[in-house]
Chain A
Amino acid sequence: GENVEQHPSTLSVQEGDSAVIKCTYSDSASNYFPWYKQELGKRPQLIIDIRSNVGEKKDQRIAVTLNKTAKHFSLHITETQPEDSAVYFCAASHTGNQFYFGTGTSLTVIP
């Protein structure tokens, strides 16, 4: 089955700096890669996703890049703000099948 690894497990950045979280996957059939943000005590919420026919996708301060050859994808958050502090999960799936989640990255943005 699919195996998703996520790094780093914790990340601290100064407000205004950029944050990058990286994930690798093992199954070349995976074609959908969502990112979820989970604030303390809340549900995971989708913040951005990318499909395998696209190399990069951007939504305001967040962007995701995908390298199918190397089987890795990354989340980039620019101009970080304290409200970006949360746990971020990556996932990989093959259309219609289950998600394989990474182990999460706890991001702290220091004011």
Chain B
Amino acid sequence: DAGVIQSPRHEVTEMGQEVTLRCKPISGHNSLFWYRQTMMRGLELLIYFNNNVPIDDSGMPEDRFSAKMPNASFSTLKIQPSEPRDSAVYFCASSPGLAREEDTQYFGPGTRLTVL
């Protein structure tokens, strides 16, 4: 298994531009999580999905952030418009989920976002 796949690995963009981060969870996993990590705030949960349905998006910082999971093998996190304070490492993680009573989360390699 290739594990959780994220793209791009690095993204540098200018303030005001739209940014789209992508994630492919481990095949067969039912839950998907988006995290943001910064030195100041640590590891923050932004949103998570179970069976492609958003369960809790209370961690999404503001309306500029949106996430979708159109199918079991793909999710996106979009920031529009981006701001310098969005600079962080964004991790996607997946877990087998409730159906198998296994909730260990496996993290992707992350996307390092820099907004100038």
Contact surface of A with B, Cβ cutoff 8 Å: 32, 34, 36, 42-46, 49, 89, 93, 95-99, 101, 103-104
Q: Is B103 a contact of A96 with CB atoms below 8 Å? A: yes
Query: What are 27 A-B pairs with beta-carbon distances under 8 A?
Result: A32-B103, A34-B104, A42-B109, A43-B107, A43-B108, A44-B91, A44-B107, A46-B106, A89-B43, A93-B103, A95-B103, A96-B31, A96-B50, A96-B97, A96-B98, A96-B101, A96-B103, A98-B33, A98-B45, A98-B56, A99-B33, A99-B105, A101-B42, A101-B43, A101-B45, A103-B42, A104-B42
Q: Say what secondary structure dominates the interface of chain B.
A: strand
A8 smallest CB distance to B (angstroms): 15
A-B contact count (CB 8 A): 44
Q: Is B45 a contact of A99 with CB atoms below 8 Å? A: yes
By a CB distance below 8 angstroms, the chain B residues around A42 are 109
By a CB distance below 8 angstroms, the chain B residues around A99 are 33, 45, 105
By a CB distance below 8 angstroms, the chain B residues around A101 are 42-43, 45
| Interface positions of B from 31 to 62, Cβ below 8 Å from A | 31, 33, 42-43, 45, 48, 50, 55-56
Nearest 6 CB-CB pairings of A with B? A96-B98, A43-B107, A101-B43, A44-B107, A103-B42, A43-B109
Q: Which residue of B lies closest to A101 (CB)?
A: B43
By a CB distance below 8 angstroms, the chain B residues around A44 are 43, 91, 107
Q: Does B25 contact A (CB under 8 A)?
A: no
- Per the bound structure, the CA–CA distance linking A104 and B31 in Å amounts to 24
- Per the bound structure, the CA–CA distance linking A32 and B109 in Å amounts to 24
By a CB distance below 8 angstroms, the chain A residues around B98 are 95-96
- Per the bound structure, the CA–CA distance linking A103 and B37 in Å amounts to 11
By a CB distance below 8 angstroms, the chain A residues around B43 are 44, 89, 101, 104
**Given contacts A95-B98, A96-B98, is CB(A49)–CB(B104) below 8 Å?**
yes
By a CB distance below 8 angstroms, the chain B residues around A34 are 104-105
- Per the bound structure, the CA–CA distance linking A85 and B71 in Å amounts to 38
- Per the bound structure, the CA–CA distance linking A32 and B104 in Å amounts to 9
Q: Is B107 a contact of A45 with CB atoms below 8 Å? A: yes
B60 smallest CB distance to A (angstroms): 13
Q: Which residue of A lies closest to B98 (CB)?
A: A96
